[in-house]
Structure 1
Amino acid sequence: MSFRAPHDGELLKSEYALRGFLPKADPLTAFPCGSPYAPLDEIGRDLPSLLYDKGFRSYARGLRLPPWQTRVSVETLPLLRLYYVRIGFLASAYVNQVGEEPVETLPGNIAAPLIDVAQRLRRPPILSYDGYALYNWKRFRKDGPIALGNIDTIQNFVHMYDERWFILVHVEIESIAAEILAAIANVKRKLAQDANADLNRELWRIEGAVRRQVETLKRIPEHMDPKLYYKTFRPYIRFFDGVAYEGADTAPMQFRGETGAQSSIMPMLVAFMKIAHRRSILTDHLDDMRAYMPAEHRTLIKEVAALPDIGAPAYREVFNAILDAMASFRRVHYGWAEDYINRRTDDPRGTGGTPYMRWLQQLLTETEARRL
């Protein structure tokens, strides 16, 4: 069977093969000495302690946060991302402070810089998966891997390793995705050179990487207590429901909170494997999650979706093996959602505002249904 590959695009960029959807350089951990944005680092470091105080919101309303004043370029993008992390964490902490009722107004001193940085990054003004995970890690040994044991977080909501572990498991999974992107890039390159090229090596490479991601996801309980997760830091990544941004000429807004559904890995694999998910309110939510991904990731997913369907009889074994690996990932994810969330609440909505258990089950069932 012959395939026809479309023209080159973002996919063949080398940084994706090296880092997956993580930044091509390690995130900045602090602003340079003397930077006008440096005060945000101290606020960020103090945030987990400040949130123990019932007067936190009064303190936050009095902060004079530095507005973004730097031209955005490739060189200054790491600064902009750190600015987004610091402001995004502060905004979610203010709205969802644990022990206090959620508020319906984000004060202008926080809302204005959040709206501004979100517009510059072409995304909604709320802390999402990118700010919580993709831009929120550092390596202990700079020449070591982006892997558990060699990474830590930059910003947190609570003084608990459980939250760090939760974030860092996702960072390692994102790092492993570099293997998947490199293999898909090779698929595209091979098909451009020869429509009848043998793709088995690349496809087995994808299957192996997804299996590694499954093993990483299974490690969640090692340092994350379900009771602590639900009561301590999960509330901070909750969606905003009817929150007015003071000073913004808009009605109260609703935004989806941080959720793994905003990761680009599974949407990319779904696009590559041509998995058809039945149209429903759940898939509408899934599509909406793409608005919370970095703009360049959305572009890359569209490029992968334009690749030919590799679900041919010649690749039945490896094609089904990839689907089985994806199903295993979804199955483990479903299990953690049950243990860490569903058993502890009657609210069917996840942090992204979706009926997550029904959604996860639908995605799992339709992934398995794609087997040849």
Structure 2
Amino acid sequence: MKPVYARRGFLPETDPLAAFPSGSPYAALDEIGRDLPSLLHEKAFRGYARALRIPKWEGPVSEETLPQLRLYYVRVGFLAAAYVNQVAEEPAETLPRNIAEPLIDAARRLKRPPILSYDGYALYNWKRFRKDGPIRLGNIDTIQNFVHMYDEHWFILVHVEIESIAADILGAIATVKRKQTEEKDEDLRAELWRIEKCVRRQVEVLKRIPEHMDSQLYYKTFRPYIRFFENVTYEGDDRAPMHFRGETGAQSSIMPTLVAFMKIPHQRSVLTDHLDDMRNYMPPEHRALIEEVEAMPDIRSPMHKEPYNAILDAMAAFRRVHYGWAEEYINRRTDDPTGTGGTPYMQWLQKMLVETEAHRA
């Protein structure tokens, strides 16, 4: 397991690029991104977007250029989602060539589907006010948004702090893996308790959602922009109209990693097939880490029963809070049972909670 995961979790190794360098051919995307929340109030937005000249990504992808490519994907991904799902307009059935081709190219280079996903909406979409301060609420802000309201900033930033806390979880898992290899199972309890404390910290951050996010505003103003694409034709692409999952927390790698580590046997169903598909929307290095954790020996044993069950209880607490916010922010306000990823989210969230609690040692 790479050391970077113990330092940053699934966040980028260095802080995301907040703007392209002066003189960059991509700098026009920063201006487009800055104006996007205002432009979306206009019925003429799609006409404006169709006339944009999006600079083509040039050159190879390297360690040096990767932060720029990620910002390029964020800017173009937001623009594409805004075009297809503009609030107060019917969903667009065609993504114009000037947006579709840059998005397809960037997504191909990042080895992911051509739609804005959790990585672009959260993992690459934050900056610190104090560069030497923590990646924590109060010291972070977003780079790109769909709306001007702080509610959307807060929604994204809560996820960023949760991702930051995951660094300690992954550090503990890496230590467990090393000690299992050295056959020092008796030393694992401290690392398991460390994981439990980190998940509890994540629960407390998740509970803060209502502090700056109004449930009615969330549902009506910015949630529509992160919905799935259904039968959307990408101009310039020969494939038939395509369907892609929308941005969703199910595309975060934290819970799948914990499920893999705890060896929770979720019953095979349409739900598990969906969760497997969610991995396709994760950065490839994150998918590889989940597979690495899946290959680890099972830690569920009488020797570790107390901390093992404590981790399960913490995971269940996280799922309960998540379920509660889904009820408050979405389910109460619609008869539509599908979430942004296109799934019956309430039914599935409940199923995941029940199966997590059922795996206690």
Which category of TM-score, normalised to the shorter sequence, fits these structures?
over 0.9
Q: Indicate the residue corresponding to 1:354 in structure 2.
A: 343
Unpaired runs of 5+ residues, structure 2, are none
Q: Deviations over 1:50-101 (max 9, x none)?
A: 0011000000000010000021011110000000000000000000000111
Q: Given the alignment, which residue of 49, 59, 82 partners 1:93?
A: 82
Q: Indicate the residue corresponding to 2:116 in structure 1.
A: 127
Q: Indicate the residue corresponding to 2:65 in structure 1.
A: 76
**Distance in 1 (alpha carbons) for counterparts of 2:64 and 2:196:** 35
Q: Given the alignment, which residue of 142, 148, 151 partners 2:131?
A: 142
Q: Deviations over 1:285-306 (max 9, x none)?
A: 1111110000000000000000
Q: CA contact under 8 A between 1:191 and 1:197: conserved in structure 2?
A: no
Alignment root-mean-square deviation, CA: 0.6
Q: Deviations over 1:129-181 (max 9, x none)?
A: 00000000000000000000000000000000000000000000000000000
**Distance in 1 (alpha carbons) for counterparts of 2:265 and 2:177:** 21
SS at match of 2:231: strand
Q: CA deviation at 1:192?
A: 1.7
SS at match of 1:117: helix
Q: Deviations over 1:315-351 (max 9, x none)?
A: 1100000000000000000000000000111111000
1:261 matched to 2:246? The reply is no
SS at match of 1:258: coil
SS at match of 1:32: coil
**Distance in 2 (alpha carbons) for counterparts of 1:64 and 1:364:** 47
**Distance in 1 (alpha carbons) for counterparts of 2:292 and 2:347:** 29
Q: Given the alignment, which residue of 183, 187, 209 partners 1:194?
A: 183
Q: Deviations over 1:184-219 (max 9, x none)?
A: 000011122225442011000000000000000000
1:53 matched to 2:47? The reply is no
**Distance in 2 (alpha carbons) for counterparts of 1:111 and 1:164:** 26
- The alignment covers a number of residue pairs equal to 361
SS at match of 1:180: helix
Q: Deviations over 1:242-277 (max 9, x none)?
A: 000011000000000000000000000000000011
Q: CA contact under 8 A between 1:98 and 1:236: conserved in structure 2?
A: yes
TM-score (norm 2): 0.99
TM-score (norm 1): 0.96
Q: Given the alignment, which residue of 294, 298, 302 partners 1:313?
A: 302
Q: Given the alignment, which residue of 63, 81, 93 partners 2:52?
A: 63
Q: Indicate the residue corresponding to 1:366 in structure 2.
A: 355
Q: Indicate the residue corresponding to 1:283 in structure 2.
A: 272
1:174 matched to 2:157? The reply is no
**Distance in 2 (alpha carbons) for counterparts of 1:196 and 1:190:** 7
**Distance in 1 (alpha carbons) for counterparts of 2:75 and 2:341:** 20
Identity of aligned residues (%): 78
Q: CA contact under 8 A between 1:190 and 1:197: conserved in structure 2?
A: no
Unpaired runs of 5+ residues, structure 1, are 1-10
**Distance in 2 (alpha carbons) for counterparts of 1:98 and 1:52:** 8
Amino acid at match of 2:11: L
**Distance in 2 (alpha carbons) for counterparts of 1:197 and 1:330:** 30
Q: Indicate the residue corresponding to 2:311 in structure 1.
A: 322
**Distance in 2 (alpha carbons) for counterparts of 1:344 and 1:281:** 25
SS at match of 1:329: helix
